């Protein structure tokens, strides 16, 4: 790294997962992109990882420890506050960057100045990093995506088409749309942010597998998306999608297009029905 301020911050919020953090941090350190600052943000841990970070980082990694548990959202927002570079990656402590992720993500943003956020394709892997499947089809075309097109495709698919560890953001986007929040749901706070960004700005997609997204028992996604009979993640997704539809219905060009308006009204009805079904599954007598 040069003596000048780097262009990118990679922040890794963590708590009590040293066995995964070692692999995650190692994958960041081994990226060919070197114009970066790396921060491990340890969230009121029971298992201290400072020695691990110092051993792996060899002076290249900053370590910050919080005495109070800030929660996932609080930790991510601290990462934003700590970032003084042009770009920010908030990377999961249990996932793995594949070679070229940072270079290709930063290049995508540099080459598309109207895009405030980049994302890539990913693999699902098990806890030992064995391949399970591709994460999803995601967006059909790579390159610059108009925010309105991203929202439309998200609503058409009925799901979040971006997985958080593949995201790199312009730091100043948060000055425009605010920090992460659970304004609608806690377990979909990242999806909520992608919708807010797409409502105002373009995005850019690299259709290449550049992250291994790990599935395991200790992750937030396991509880909310992969626990049978406990569809909290799907319920939150429907609520966020309804917000996305509401934002599109406010666009002047949408208001003038009867076919698009009719389609979006039908989608709101579809998402409402699905949300009601998930809520009934969770709350008896509702």
Q: What digits encode the pLDDT tens for the residues 163-189?
A: 999 999 999 999 999 999 999 998 899
pTM of the predicted protein model: 0.92
Closest residue by Cα to residue 163 from 122, 207, 111, 115: 122
pLDDT by position in tens, the chain (length 286): 445 899 999 999 998 999 999 999 999 999 999 999 999 999 888 898 999 999 999 999 999 999 989 999 999 999 999 999 999 999 999 999 999 999 999 999 999 999 999 999 999 999 999 999 998 876 778 899 999 999 999 999 999 999 999 999 999 999 999 999 999 998 899 999 999 999 999 999 999 999 999 997 766 665 555 566 657 889 999 999 999 999 999 999 999 999 999 999 999 999 999 999 989 888 877 7
Residues 6+ apart with CB under 8 A from 41: 11, 12, 13, 14, 64, 66, 75, 78, 79, 82
Is beta strand 202-214 parallel, antiparallel or unpaired with respect to 131-134? Answer: unpaired
Q: Name residue 209's beta-bridge partners.
A: 121
* pLDDT tens per residue, range 99-130: 999 999 999 999 999 999 999 999 999 999 99
Is beta strand 96-97 parallel, antiparallel or unpaired with respect to 143-145? Answer: unpaired
Determine contact, residues 94/20, Cβ cutoff 8 Å. yes
How far is Cα 250 from Cα 244, in angstroms, rounded to an integer?
10
How far is Cα 173 from Cα 176, in angstroms, rounded to an integer?
5
Q: What are phi and psi of 36, to 5 degrees?
A: -145, 160
CA atoms 25, 10, 148, 178: torsion sign: positive
């Amino acid at each position: 790294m040069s003596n000048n301020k780097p262009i990118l911050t990679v922040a890794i919020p963590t708590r009590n997962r040293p066995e995964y953090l070692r692999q995650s941090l190692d994958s960041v350190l081994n990226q060919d992109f070197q114009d970066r600052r790396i921060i491990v943000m340890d969230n009121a841990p029971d298992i201290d990882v400072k020695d691990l970070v110092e051993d792996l980082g060899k002076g290249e990694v900053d370590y910050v420890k919080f005495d109070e548990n800030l929660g996932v959202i609080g930790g991510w927002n601290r990462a934003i506050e700590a970032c003084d570079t042009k770009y920010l990656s908030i990377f999961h402590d249990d996932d793995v960057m594949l070679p070229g992720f940072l270079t290709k993500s930063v290049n995508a943003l540099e080459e598309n100045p109207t895009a405030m956020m980049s994302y890539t394709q990913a693999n699902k892997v098990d806890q030992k990093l064995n391949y399970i499947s591709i994460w999803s089809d995601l967006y059909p075309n790579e390159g610059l995506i108009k925010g309105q097109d991203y929202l439309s495709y998200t609503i058409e698919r009925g799901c979040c088409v971006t997985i958080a560890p593949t995201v790199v953001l312009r730091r100043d986007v948060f000055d425009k749309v605010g920090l992460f929040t659970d304004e609608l749901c806690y377990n979909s706070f990242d999806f909520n942010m992608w919708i807010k960004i797409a409502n105002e700005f373009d995005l850019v997609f690299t259709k290449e597998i550049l992250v291994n997204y790990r599935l395991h028992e200790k992750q937030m996604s396991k509880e909310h998306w992969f626990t049978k009979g406990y569809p909290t993640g799907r319920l939150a997704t429907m609520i966020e999608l309804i917000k996305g539809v509401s934002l599109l219905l406010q666009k002047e060009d949408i208001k003038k297009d009867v076919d698009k308006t009719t389609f979006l009204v039908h989608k709101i009805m579809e998402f409402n029905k699905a949300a009601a079904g998930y809520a009934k599954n969770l709350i008896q007598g509702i």
